[in-house]
Amino acid sequence: MAASNRQEIRTLAEQVFAQLQDDIVLGVLKPGTRLGEAELASRYGVSRGPLREAIRRLESRKLLQREPHVGARVASLTTDDLVEIYRVREALEGMAARLAAQHMTESEVQGLHDVLSQHEQQQDIKEDTAYFQREGDLDFHYRIIQGSHNQTLIDLLIGELYHLVRMYRYQFSAVTNRPQKALAEHRRIVEAIESGDGDLAEMLMRRHISRARENIELQTQNDSTNT
Amino acid sequence: MAASNRQEIRTLAEQVFAQLQDDIVLGVLKPGTRLGEAELASRYGVSRGPLREAIRRLESRKLLQREPHVGARVASLTTDDLVEIYRVREALEGMAARLAAQHMTESEVQGLHDVLSQHEQQQDIKEDTAYFQREGDLDFHYRIIQGSHNQTLIDLLIGELYHLVRMYRYQFSAVTNRPQKALAEHRRIVEAIESGDGDLAEMLMRRHISRARENIELQTQNDSTNT
DNA sequence: TCAAGATAGATTGTAGACAATATGCGGGTG
DNA sequence: CACCCGCATATTGTCTACAATCTATCTTGA
């Protein structure tokens, strides 16, 4: 539902790539797991050729780590890695918000409002906050990124970086402990985009992501002191 | 010399990957060229296995475009693509400059000064401005990116984006028509980094790259009106 | 002239074999 | 007892050959 297989898949190598990626992101294959080629080949019902091509592509997306003559392992993200990623997100999504304020069409802005009101309802019904905190939050960010109409930016964020963010969320069942504030920030970002204020949109988006990063850093401190 | 093969290369697939990448970036293989698998395999003296893995990795770096059952072509960059890339550079290198101001070591700052004075001398000797306008300029940017000490950021910029920038420069023999101003901007960026002013460093870097982008956009307009 | 089918060419997928290398175990030595 | 060296094993890396599939072109017929 969220955003997994965007384009039509035709070759076996691409199928294996998509399946293996999902299995890694969703946690079916746990971080650190050794991935033997023979084992994977039989698991997905293909030969080693297409499998190795899929592995190469997943390696360049940092979803698995490879070492020559040793093999591949499912990437295991540390919190430091995630903090690094959030710095990059801050820069790229800030730019995306700025460009979205300039280039978004009316229907795209309307779509933002739809997502927003959807989240507001789910906030009232407090039981299913998981949606907002997982893929729902990402839907909002996806739309703004797409709204930048900058294909390079879109590919970098959605094609490469976001899989790692999603993997982390599934790995640690990560939830934001400030859903109301986050939703309020989303609202103000949409207002800035709607009024075409690129400067403000970028600033608000950067703050929004920066706070999420600080939240991660804080939780890490608590974890280490409690342990 | 500049920055081509950073890590030790052990497997054939990695060798082919590095060679093919260089051949594309440096223009040995011209944009749009069809790359038959059999032809490439004999060209580099390997079989199709390692070759196909190299092709997959180059595809995810956007150095070549592939179509299933048709084949691969050397990517041909349009000016619009480059403008998109410069928007991303503005965001990412702005962040890199901010982080560099916070995290660069003394010796790294010294290295920046060295590059700077090197460029100043080459400016006086006006004959060989090509160095500054090509790899020399990139050296400066590379150092600041490395100075961010954010490996995710470094990988994205140097590992993925910069090959495209370099390819474009070789493709069009692109030169900046404002070398003095660019050098002055470099100087002020180093000052901001040295004084630990992350806000200023980011702002100056963003302006610097933004002006380079405007320069590209202007040249494109002239080209189209003259043609 | 246009459209549908056949053919040629290429790429993609598969299988099997061998070479190259890392890992882990066991024995020997200080 | 600890450490180092060498060997066996398993896995990855590579190559060859062939089958399957798709694309594009050419031919043929209406």
ipTM value for the complex: 0.87
**Does residue A136 share a domain with residue A93?**
yes
Q: From the CA of B30 to the C1' of C8: give the distance in Å.
A: 28
Q: DSSP string covering B126-195, please?
A: GGGHHHIIIIIHHHHHHHHHHHT--HHHHIIIIIIIHHHHHHHHHHHT---S-HHHHHHHHHHHHHHHHT
Considering B74, B96, B113, which residue would you say is the last residue of a domain? B74
Provide the pLDDT confidence category of residue B113 given band limits of 50, 70 and 90. very high
Q: From the CA of B83 to the C1' of D25: give the distance in Å.
A: 38
- For chain B, what is the mean pLDDT? 86
Say if the Cβ atoms of B84 and A153 lie within 8 Å: yes
**Does residue A190 share a domain with residue A114?**
yes
Answer yes or no: are the C-beta atoms of B49 and A55 closer than 8 Å. Answer: no
Give the burial string for A121-142 (b: 16+ CB within 10 Å, else e): ebeeeeeebeebbbebbbbbbb
Considering A17, A42, A74, which residue would you say is the last residue of a domain? A74
Q: From the CA of A11 to the C1' of C13: give the distance in Å.
A: 9
**Dihedral (Cα; B206, B209, B211, B214), 10-degree rounding:** -120
**Does residue A220 share a domain with residue A136?**
yes
Instruction: For residue A117, give its domain range.
Output: 79-225
Entry field: residues in chain A = 227
Considering A74, A94, A128, which residue would you say is the last residue of a domain? A74
**Does residue A132 share a domain with residue A209?**
yes
Provide the pLDDT confidence category of residue B180 given band limits of 50, 70 and 90. confident
Q: A127 to chain B nearest CA, in Å?
A: 36
Each of the 227 residues of chain A gets a pLDDT tens digit; together they read 333 333 455 788 888 999 999 999 999 999 999 888 888 898 898 999 889 999 999 999 999 999 888 889 999 989 999 999 999 999 999 999 999 999 999 999 999 999 988 887 776 555 545 555 566 788 899 999 999 999 999 999 999 999 999 999 888 876 677 778 888 999 999 999 999 999 999 999 999 999 999 998 988 776 655 54
User: How far is A26 from A41, CA to CA, in rounded Å?
Assistant: 20
Backbone angles phi, psi at B206, to 5 degrees: -65, -45
User: How far is A209 from B57, CA to CA, in rounded Å?
Assistant: 30
- For B:44-63, CB contacts with A below 8 A are 49, 52-53, 56-57, 60-62
**Does residue B30 share a domain with residue B96?**
no
Q: Is B78 on the interface with A (CB under 8 A)?
A: no
**Nearest by Cα to A204 from A214, A217, A216, A191:** A191
**Residues in chain A closer than 8 A to B95 (CB atoms):** 87-88, 90-91
Kindly list the distances between the CA atom of residue B113 and the CA atoms of B106, B118, B143, B185, in Å, as whole numbers in the listed order. 11, 8, 11, 13
**Does residue B84 share a domain with residue B35?**
no
